Amino acid sequence: MARVAYRSADVDLMARMMRAEAEGEGQQGMLYVGNVIVNRAIADCTDFIDVRTIEDVIFQIQGGNYSFEAVQKGNVFYQRARESEKRLARQNLDYWRDHPAKYALWYFNPYAPCPPTWYDQPFTGQYKLHCFYEPLAGTCESVYMG
């Protein structure tokens, strides 16, 4: 059973975002971004209480901006999804998750060493240029169940 319900349009959308956010970090980096996308759809806490679908996650607006910078700035996001990225997206949607993004809800590229917390959320690890953060223990149990 899939980690989150999805349609073929969700696979395409997620594949485009994974590529836009982490193409330079290879397949592994794109899978980690995919973990965060799926985790946000599963999480029933913090900024993600009303986010339930892949489309909700990708187009979520926080603080007046899209959560993923690639939606408003990235021409890569608006290119057609390639089959290789669609395959990775389906892996994330169906089963794949791994450290440091296994339970992560946030990531960013600080262009410097990863800080130990990000908006009070603990650092879980780094892959190439991206730092990953998961919710504080006891604040978002739903992300650990999906």
> How many percent of the chain have pLDDT more than 70?
100
Asked if residue 60 belongs to a domain, the reply is yes
Domain, as residue range, for 130: 8-145
Is 2 part of any domain?
A: no
**Residue-wise pLDDT tens digits, 112-128:** 999 999 999 999 999 99
Distance in angstroms (rounded) separating the CA atoms of residues 85 and 21: 12
The alpha carbon of 16 is separated from its chain's Cα centroid by a whole number of angstroms, namely 12
pLDDT of residue 38: 98
**Is 33 domain-assigned?**
yes
**Is residue 96 assigned to a domain?**
yes
Q: Tell me whether residue 138 is in a domain.
A: yes
Written as one string, the DSSP assignment of 20-57 is: HHHGGGHHHHHHHHHHHHHHHHH--SGGGTT--SHHHH
User: Can you tell me the distance from the alpha carbon of 68 to that of 56, in angstroms, rounded to the nearest whole number?
Assistant: 12
Lowest mean pLDDT among 16-25, 69-78, 91-100, 108-117: 69-78
Please list, in sequence order, all residues whose beta carbon lies within 8 angstroms of the beta carbon of residue 86, skipping any fewer than 6 positions away. 11, 12, 15
- Residue 3 in any domain: the answer is no
Strand partners, 108: 131
Question: How many structural domains compose the chain?
Answer: 1
pTM for the full model? 0.97
89 within domain boundaries: yes
pLDDT value, residue 82: 97
Q: Which two tokens stand for residue 95?
A: 């089963």
Q: What secondary structure letter does DSSP report for 67?
A: S
**Maximal CA-CA distance, the chain:** 39
Confidence of residue 146 (pLDDT cuts 50, 70, 90): confident
Looking up residue 104, the CATH number of its domain turns out to be 1.10.10.2520
- pLDDT category at 93 given cuts 50, 70, 90 is very high
User: Is 1 contained in some domain?
Assistant: no
Write the pLDDT tens digit of every residue in 19-61.
Answer: 999 999 999 999 999 999 999 999 999 899 999 999 999 999 9
